[in-house]
């Protein structure tokens, strides 16, 4: 089976520096924070242009810390995307926020046109599929912007690093992210000095020293681990090389499919994609996924969620989000990780071409 992700191949490429560094870490008695955390944070500052970076245990933790810094409380209205992975919207919901959902557009990006800002405490933006939101639509509203850039890391908004946008932003590291690791990890980034001070405390359960009897912050257990920071830093050393390979794969896929007539997700004009996912639109993505699997090709459906229809997230489950519904039914992701071999790419394209039906070609977005 040709897989959507390939952790074994990631390990094969980075194993030598990774093992040496892990041997060093496991030969020490302190496994929290330390030099590899600092190395990760400095590297991410370099890549994103952010003033402050704090490593945390996941992208979800990063989002939680941002909403805590903002002071989100019971009943606060937070605008967020209607279509993503659930962990994107769980943090404000856990703090008691009322989620105000916005649809996506034909590019799979959050539609922020004409939003109602009345009594809104924050806007959470989420970039999907390797692109980002149109920030100019909300930049002058006077509302804090929490940037869920977990999939947008290394994409560009009008030439500017997408993770540098907003009051604070989140990066996620996982097997299927732009910078892959084994398991999950994260980082929270900001240019605000006051929030940076909060993050230092709140990622460590609210305190910096167990000898301090006074607590000034409420926090969670998101304290960085040395061995995980080694993984992140080692992958960061390779990530720009992997990005070049992702671009090559995407270009070859588009060239191979251009005469088939199948719909391929496009990027908005303002965004330069990081090629996080290669997405096709077909009549029935579940049936298409089964066809590919029968030919030895794994594919994923991103995503199956319409948040507004879930009672645990939404107070009003009657509102329609047509573009979310379109992506849920028609979007399918094929393998595009940086370790794909030429013959595997040919096999993927061959399987896609064999699976295309007239209904797929009649599909319009």
Is there a contact between 328 and 83 (Cβ–Cβ < 8 Å)?
yes
Strand blocks (E) in 120-220: 120-126, 145-148, 156-157, 160-161, 168-174, 184-190
pLDDT digits (tens, 9 = 90+) for 25-66: 999 988 888 999 999 999 999 999 999 999 999 999 999 999
- Mean pLDDT, to the nearest integer, of 173-194? 96
292 plus 206 within the same structural domain:
no
The rounded distance, in Å, linking the Cα atoms of 87 and 75 is 19
pLDDT at 208: 84
Residue 197 reports pLDDT greater than 80:
yes
pLDDT digits (tens, 9 = 90+) for 98-142: 999 999 999 999 999 988 888 999 999 999 999 999 999 999 999
Three-class DSSP labels, 239-284: HHHHHHHHHHHHHHHHHHHCCCCCEECCCCCCEECCCCCEEEECCC
Longest CA pairwise span in the chain (Å): 70
Please tell me the pTM assigned to this model: 0.94
User: Residue 209 — pLDDT band, cuts 50, 70, 90?
Assistant: confident
292 plus 224 within the same structural domain:
no
Residue 213 reports pLDDT greater than 80:
no
Residue 323 reports pLDDT greater than 80:
yes
Domain assignment present for residue 1? The answer is no
Name the domain boundary from 234, 269, 303.
234
Per the prediction, the chain carries an average pLDDT of 96
| Percent of the chain residues past pLDDT 90, beyond the cut | 92
131 plus 12 within the same structural domain:
yes
> Cα dist. 92→73, 86, 125, 143, 282 in Å?
8, 11, 13, 15, 33
Domain assignment present for residue 346? The answer is yes
pLDDT at 214: 78
pLDDT at 54: 98
201 plus 291 within the same structural domain:
no
The CATH code of the domain that includes 207 is: 3.40.640.10
Per the structure, the complete domain to which residue 291 belongs is given by: 240-362
């Amino acid at each position: 089976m040709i897989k959507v992700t390939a952790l074994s191949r990631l390990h094969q490429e980075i194993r030598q520096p990774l093992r040496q560094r892990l041997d060093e870490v496991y030969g020490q008695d302190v496994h929290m924070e330390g030099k590899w955390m600092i190395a990760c944070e400095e590297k991410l500052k370099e890549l994103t242009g952010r003033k402050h970076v704090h490593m945390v245990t996941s992208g979800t933790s990063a989002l939680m810390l941002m909403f805590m810094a903002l002071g989100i409380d019971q009943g606060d209205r937070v605008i967020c995307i209607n279509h993503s992975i659930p962990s994107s919207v769980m943090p404000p919901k856990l703090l008691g926020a009322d989620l105000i959902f916005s649809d996506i557009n034909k590019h799979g990006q959050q539609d922020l046109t004409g939003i109602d800002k009345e009594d809104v405490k924050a806007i959470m933006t989420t970039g999907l599929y390797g692109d980002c939101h149109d920030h100019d639509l909300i930049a002058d509203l006077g509302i804090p912007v929490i940037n869920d850039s977990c999939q947008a890391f290394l994409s560009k908004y009008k030439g500017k690093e997408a993770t540098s946008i907003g009051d604070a932003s989140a990066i996620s590291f996982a097997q299927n992210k732009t910078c892959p690791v084994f398991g999950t990890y994260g980082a929270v980034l900001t240019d605000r000095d006051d929030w940076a001070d909060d993050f230092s405390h709140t990622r460590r359960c609210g305190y910096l020293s167990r000898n301090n009897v006074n607590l000034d912050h409420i926090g969670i257990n998101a304290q960085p681990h040395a061995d995980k920071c080694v993984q992140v830093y080692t992958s960061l050393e390779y990530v720009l090389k992997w990005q070049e390979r992702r671009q090559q794969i995407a270009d070859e896929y588009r060239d191979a499919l251009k005469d088939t007539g199948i719909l391929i997700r496009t990027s908005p004009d303002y965004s330069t994609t990081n090629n996080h996912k290669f997405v096709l639109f077909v009549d029935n993505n579940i049936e298409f996924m089964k066809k590919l699997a029968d030919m030895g090709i794994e594919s994923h459906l991103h995503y199956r969620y319409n948040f507004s229809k879930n009672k645990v997230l939404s107070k009003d489950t009657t509102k329609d989000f047509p573009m979310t519904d379109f992506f849920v039914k028609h979007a399918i992701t094929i393998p595009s990780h940086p370790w794909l071999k030429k013959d595997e790419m040919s096999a993927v394209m061959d399987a896609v071409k064999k699976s295309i039906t007239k209904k797929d070609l009649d599909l319009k977005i």
